[in-house]
């Protein structure tokens, strides 16, 4: 079976160990944009209290990126290997055999087909044995409870049999677009890069337009950073079409 990783943040573009994980585990040149229920919903203390991506309960649909795994999922051992490697890319100091921490965990979504039933049964047993705390939308079985992603280009179901993703714990109160933008505007450690790299790599939320409008209004000096030019051009084109 073909496996894929649904990426909704820096896992897709961050350098260092995550880059090594992508080169070893993913066919990055075959990635495809898919519809996904996501938003900036977690205030991150390691990013100077700016916001990072989470899955979303009730906002309009956003856009993530599905990247095929290099190795086929043939049994529970190969699925577990991909899941543990994914978590190690998310949590760099994670002990071997872990699938999560208090702030997030890995979940699995399978197509509703007969041949995947035994694999998912084995996955549920494994997930429960690890005593991983479920983080919504991953449930206590380790199942990722979101609709099967569809391609942004044509609306067709994503070309995968098994999808893995990391769910991170969202804040209880969802921030508005202005709060999200202000968090980046009120820091000076380049954490705004998270927003621009997401835009550049196709990870989008319904709040992107209002966030960019707020940034334009306050005109920070980093708005002129050449590293952000590609993402800013995308945001400007989109803003022009809304006028």
pLDDT per residue as tens digits for the range 25-76: 999 999 999 999 999 999 999 999 999 999 998 777 999 999 999 999 999 9
- Quote the radius of gyration of the chain (alpha carbons, Å): 18
Question: Which pTM was predicted?
Answer: 0.95
State how far the Cα of 217 lies from the Cα of 220, in Å rounded to an integer.
Answer: 9
The pLDDT, as a whole number, for residue 94 is: 81
Q: What is the pLDDT of residues 136-195, one digit of tens each?
A: 999 999 999 999 999 999 999 999 999 999 999 999 999 999 999 999 999 999 999 999
Inter-CA distances, 170 with 68, 101, 104, Å: 26, 14, 9
State how far the Cα of 53 lies from the Cα of 207, in Å rounded to an integer.
Answer: 12
Mean pLDDT of the chain: 95
The pLDDT, as a whole number, for residue 243 is: 64
pLDDT top residue among 95 and 113: 95
pLDDT top residue among 85 and 97: 85
State how far the Cα of 105 lies from the Cα of 83, in Å rounded to an integer.
Answer: 10
């Amino acid at each position: 079976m073909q496996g894929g990783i649904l990426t909704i943040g820096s896992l897709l573009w961050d350098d260092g160990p995550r880059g090594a994980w992508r080169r070893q585990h993913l066919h990055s040149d075959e990635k495809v944009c898919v519809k996904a229920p996501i938003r900036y919903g977690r205030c991150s203390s390691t990013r100077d209290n700016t916001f990072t991506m989470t899955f979303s309960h009730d906002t309009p649909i956003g856009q993530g990126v599905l990247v095929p795994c290099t190795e086929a999922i043939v049994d529970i051992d190969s699925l577990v290997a991909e899941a543990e490697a994914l978590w190690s890319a998310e949590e760099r100091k994670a002990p071997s055999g872990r699938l999560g921490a208090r702030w997030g965990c890995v979940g699995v979504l399978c197509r509703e087909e007969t041949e995947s039933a035994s694999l998912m049964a084995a996955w549920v047993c494994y997930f429960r044995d690890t005593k991983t705390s479920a983080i919504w939308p991953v449930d206590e079985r380790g199942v990722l409870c979101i609709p099967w992603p569809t391609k942004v280009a044509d609306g067709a179901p994503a070309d995968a049999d098994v999808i893995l993703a990391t769910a991170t714990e969202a804040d209880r109160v969802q921030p508005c677009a202005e709060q999200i933008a202000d968090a980046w505007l009120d820091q000076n450690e380049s954490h705004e890069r998270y927003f621009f790299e997401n835009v550049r790599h196709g990870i989008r939320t319904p709040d992107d337009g209002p966030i960019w409008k707020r940034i334009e209004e306050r005109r920070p000096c980093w708005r002129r950073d050449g590293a952000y030019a590609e993402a800013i051009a995308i945001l400007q084109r989109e803003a022009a079409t809304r006028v």
